[in-house]
Structure 1
Amino acid sequence: MSLVADIRTSRELLVNLTRREVKGKYKRTVLGQLWSLANPLAQMLVYTLVFSVIIRIDPGPGVPSGLDIFALWLMCALLPWSFFTAVVTGGMSSLVGSENLIKKVYFPRSALVVANTLASSYTWSIEMVVLVIAILLAGANVLPFVPLVVVAMAVLLVFSLGVALMLSIANAYFRDTQHLVTILFMVWFYLTPILYPISEVAKQSARVGPLIGDITVLDIYQLNPMESFTEVFRNLLYDNRLPSAGSAMECVVWALVAIVVGGWVFDRHQRRLAEVL
């Protein structure tokens, strides 16, 4: 696979690009990396106030962890979602943002997208460590599940990278892509069980009944790949139990499909990027 070959032959370039992304993001700031925690914390406070205090959504305690803290339940899904959107939006603009470099020097173009993904992974790792510490302080024994959380993070990284590779090419040809994706993510966010438990969707689905044959609203809803990732992370972090084999397999399949298709699309068009840009 060309993507793997590109990564192998440009490891030093990837390290330098990733370092540049990480350092450049918080250059000349007083708090530095602490700003990586500011946005998710602000979102947590706002969403907790609105959905836990005002609207009063109750996801129930984690089973078997017994955790019953809405803010932690929220962050177990919000942090993976934020990582996914950061990788896709950042990767999508990485080619356009490096237009001058692409036109002057030849190097594996995929390195730009991969470097953005690695930089986002660095920030996400810090956020997840803080979340694990918060869960431990809340009284849940999440440590035995941390290795599986790392595996789930790697699978989501592969899925996010695959989507980013596809959309980076689309954005190079059609600059409208970034605006369309912004709207898509806004809709996608509310169609993913981040702010509410999927049990609420199941209730409404049961009330509506089958749509076509035996197909229900819940069946269509669960076609969303981020629904599976959300369930896996919440099972491991909040519930402290293994996710279902079906959900775990769905995540792996989505990741493989995304990276294979994304890598193929990118490899097919990367040689023309200097002309297109």
Structure 2
Amino acid sequence: MNAMFNILKEQISSFSLIMRLAVYETKSKYQMNYLGILWQFLNPLIQMLAYWFVFGMGIRGGQPIVIGGIEVPFIIWMLAGLIPWFFISPTILDGSNSIFKRINMVAKMNFPISILPSVVIISNLFSYFVMMGIYLIVLISYGIYPDIHWIQYFYYLICMIVFMFSFSLLNSTISIIVRDYHFLLQAGTRLLFFLLPVFWNIAERMTGDKAWIVDVLKLNPLFYVIEGFRNSFLKGEWFFNDLTYTLYFWFITLLILTIASLLHMKFRNKFVDFL
């Protein structure tokens, strides 16, 4: 537990440094392009339109999603899962590589290495919040107005950030020790996209004798997060309605954070030796 508390203490005490590095990271990533930082928003926007056209208009033929007996436009349902995915996917990959990319630069400095995954998370949150702002406009344009359940969006946002930090800290540590792990993670992230309710309604497809598949897929904590966003904006369901699933999510998240913290503190002074 001491390792976890030390890691969390570093995040809090270095928050201003994390913000400065995140801003620099965002600017430097696109400084050689004519459109600059606009690509951070244009790229996911183009992908959203492509997914909507292929899966919404093509495969589904424009048919809405039925949630609790109410028809919801497919694009509204899809964006509730796709926008978090556009944050989750690059954060998994960039977060796992965050320490490896900068270890030679910071190894001989008095630098809290554990904040590097946090820098990636904050950097990706900039574009995520812009996309969420666009999503709110789309919701209102379709006649879906704020209600009391929208408040719990902030709860699920915290869930997503805490889990992604825990997972990124673990991945970034393992990626230094076993370099092949990063490439395995790349393949796993592509597969993960199809195992989450991002663009297809798993519960709608897996019924009857296939219902057990949904229970298995729900073991993934990210399933809890994505469904949580939909519960907040579209279903009007509170997170404490399924207290067992909520406790499971936090148990897994804190378990990953504890393991990641122990590994990170054990090997952080030896990271350079693995390069």
For the criterion TM > 0.5, the same-fold answer is yes
Correspondence 1:221-260 to 2 at 5 A: 221-243=217-239, 244-246=241-243, 247-260=245-258
SS of structure 1 residue aligned to 2:99: helix
Helix, strand or coil at the partner of 1:104? coil
Whether 1:77 and 2:77 are equivalent positions in the alignment is no
| Structure 1 SS opposite 2:65 | coil
Contact 1:62-1:68 at 8 Å conserved across structures: yes
Whether the aligned pair in 1 keeps the contact of 2:64 and 2:71 (CA below 8 Å) is no
Unmatched 5+ stretches in structure 1: 210-215
Rounded Cα–Cα distance in structure 2 between residues aligned with 1:103 and 1:154? 30
**Number of equivalent positions:** 268
AA aligned opposite 2:251 = V
For 1:218 and 1:21, the matched residues in 2 are separated by 38
Instruction: Return the offset for 1:27.
Output: 1.9
Opposite residue 190 of structure 2, the aligned amino acid is: M
Which TM-score applies when normalising by structure 2? 0.87
SS at match of 2:238: coil
Q: Judge conservation of contact 1:132–1:237 (CA < 8 Å) in 2.
A: no
- The match for 1:50 is 54
* Structure 1 Cα separation of the partners of residues 271 and 117 of structure 2: 13
Corresponding position of 1:117: 121
Residue equivalent to 2:266 = 268
% of aligned pairs identical?
23
Question: What are the within-5 Å matches in structure 2 for residues 165-244 of structure 1?
Answer: 165-203=169-207, 206-208=208-210, 216-243=212-239, 244=241
1:85 alignment partner AA:
S
Gaps of 5+ in 2: none
Instruction: Return the TM-score normalized by structure 1.
Output: 0.86
SS in 1 for 2:112: coil
CA contact (8 A) 1:201 1:218 kept: no
CA apart distance, 1:82: 2.1
3-state SS, counterpart of residue 129 of structure 1: helix
Give a deviation string over 1:182-230, Cα, whole Å, max 9, x none.
Answer: 1101111111121211223432xx2358xxxxxx333222222222212
RMSD of aligned residue pairs (Cα, Å): 2.4
Q: Report if the CA contact (8 A) 2:170-2:261 is conserved.
A: yes
Residues 1:19 and 1:143: Cα distance change in structure 2 (over 3 Å) = farther
CA distance in 1, matches of 2:203, 2:12: 44
Tell which deviates more after alignment, 97-106 or 26-35: 26-35
Q: Deviations over 1:14-61 (max 9, x none)?
A: 232122112222324444443222222222222222222222175624
For residues 23-38 of structure 1, the aligned pairs below 5 Å read: 23-38=27-42
Structure 1 residue 67: deviation in Å? 6.0
